[in-house]
Structure 1
Amino acid sequence: MKRLVAKHPLAIRWFHWLNFPVLALMIWSGLWIYWANDVYRLGWGRTTVLKFFPTSFYQAFHMDHKLAQGMSWHFVLMWVFALNGLAYVAYTLISGEWRYLLPTRHSFAEAWQVLLHDLGVRKAPLPARKFNGAQQIAYTAVILMGAGSLLTGLAIYKPTQLAGLTALLGGYEWARLEHFALTIGYVLFFLVHIAQVVRAGWNNFRAMVAGFEVVDVPEAGPTAPAAPVSSPTAPLA
């Protein structure tokens, strides 16, 4: 028999779906700003292996000559991103959701098993929990990255007024590099996260949209008691 099992509270879903487009637009507007001084590359000395980003990239997506527009959008969205993040952290603390998200001393060992499972090396099923060890580490890391982006962003936005913060982060150039590195981290997280959502299937995606997932519950036999369900459930027609 199939049942609906509650998984994600409404608040968590709102914070998630608000943060996704806001962060995506911040990255987009950040590229408009980065165009004006695109100095970062991978390489050594005069040798460049990879440049972020070639001129053709800006021209193809019409990102060139939009510095003022990019700064306007970035600074407006910054407050939405910050307030949404603070509200999310406050909610997890007050509601107790942090207990599911915060890594434990077993999370790193479990994350390795999750990786082996995703690569098809480990055949045993993953723990039947709301978040496994890999997810706990990844989601906690994203929260810390958000705090880092806010601090480094403020440091390069107001380097004179917030001179102490800028100095603490290593100076303006280091703060800007740290801000850029965090942005690359978000992009990598997006790619992995979306790939995992596709791999997990519709049931997992629906849980973040509607708040519930459909699970198979064994029907009780003529003499055996019904299997207990830990979460509030409702029969599915």
Structure 2
Amino acid sequence: MARREKNYQHPLIVRVTHWMNFIALGIMVTSGLRIYNASPIWEFRIPENLTLGGWLAGARMWHFFGMWLFVLNGIIWVTYNVASKHGRNTTLFRSSDRLGIVPMIKYYLRLSKHHPPTTKYNSLQKLTYTLIPLLALGSVLSGIAIYWPVQFSLIAASFGGYDTARIWHFVFTAAFVLFFFGHLFLVAISGWSNFVSMITGWKRAEEN
């Protein structure tokens, strides 16, 4: 008969930064959509009930609050994962992890019934967690190019100018949204215990 036990999966700092990212991104995306509506890049507008801020100035206040929360939280997360043995061994992508990418893709696409052997995070997760800081950096820099195009003209120029920087900022935002829904999908198919472990730190496992 199977015996259930609990394994400690996620340290407190990992759980706190995870949920703070969720809050910060939610604030930035919804307030950013309100800012977009004030001066649309394309012909469509976002429904008001999906936006935050009420008016342009209010949306900017929320956006900057979310941005500072996101930046400070990101600095803590990156510092922890680079400086700690736990972060380096379990979260960051290494050259040896590249061999596990294709097997994991096949498993997620249901082309293989066997879950590839992994440690705490599989190769795709490690690759994603390693690339996310680069995506975040691009989002912050393109935001700076939009809000201070004169003061930071070199950054604005690196994105191709003000108008192009707005498109890049939108693309970075869309990438974060896709990551969020992809993350939810993978959590859903991997079991409820994975979600609970990101709250409590503990994950139930089965032993025969």
Poorly superposed stretches of 4+, deviation over 6 Å: 62-65
Show the counterpart of 1:204. Answer: 194
The amino acid that maps onto 1:14 is V
**Contiguous gaps of at least 5 residues in structure 1:** 41-50, 219-237
Show the counterpart of 2:17. Answer: 15
Show the counterpart of 2:83. Answer: 94
Show the counterpart of 2:185. Answer: 195
Show the counterpart of 2:142. Answer: 152
Normalised by the size of structure 2, how large is the TM-score? 0.90
1:133 aligns with 2:135: no
Flag the structure with higher helix content. Answer: 2
Superposed, 1:3-42 pairs within 5 Å as 3-40=5-42
Native 8 Å contact 1:35 1:63 kept in 2: no
Cα distance change of structure 1 residues 127 and 25 upon mapping to structure 2, 3 Å threshold: same
Quote how far apart the aligned CAs of 1:217 are: 3.0
Greater CA drift, 178-187 or 138-147: 138-147
Native 8 Å contact 1:58 1:64 kept in 2: no
Percent of aligned pairs with the same amino acid: 35
Spell out, residue by residue over 1:67-125, the C-alpha distance to the aligned partner (whole angstroms, 9 max, x if none): 22111111122111111101111111221203322222343442221121122211222
Work out the CA distance in 1 between the residues paired with 2:76 and 2:39. 33
| RMSD of equivalent CA atoms | 2.0
Cα distance change of structure 1 residues 199 and 166 upon mapping to structure 2, 3 Å threshold: same
The amino acid that maps onto 1:3 is E
Q: Secondary structure at the match of 1:68?
A: helix
Work out the CA distance in 2 between the residues paired with 1:122 and 1:164. 48
Show the counterpart of 2:4. Answer: 2
The structure, 1 or 2, with the larger RCO (C-alpha pairs under 8 Å, 6+ apart) is: 1
The amino acid that maps onto 2:170 is F
**Contiguous gaps of at least 5 residues in structure 2:** none
Equivalent in 49, 54, 74 of residue 85 of structure 1: 74
Quote how far apart the aligned CAs of 1:59 are: 4.7
Spell out, residue by residue over 1:163-192, the C-alpha distance to the aligned partner (whole angstroms, 9 max, x if none): 122122222122211111000101111111
Work out the CA distance in 1 between the residues paired with 2:51 and 2:139. 25
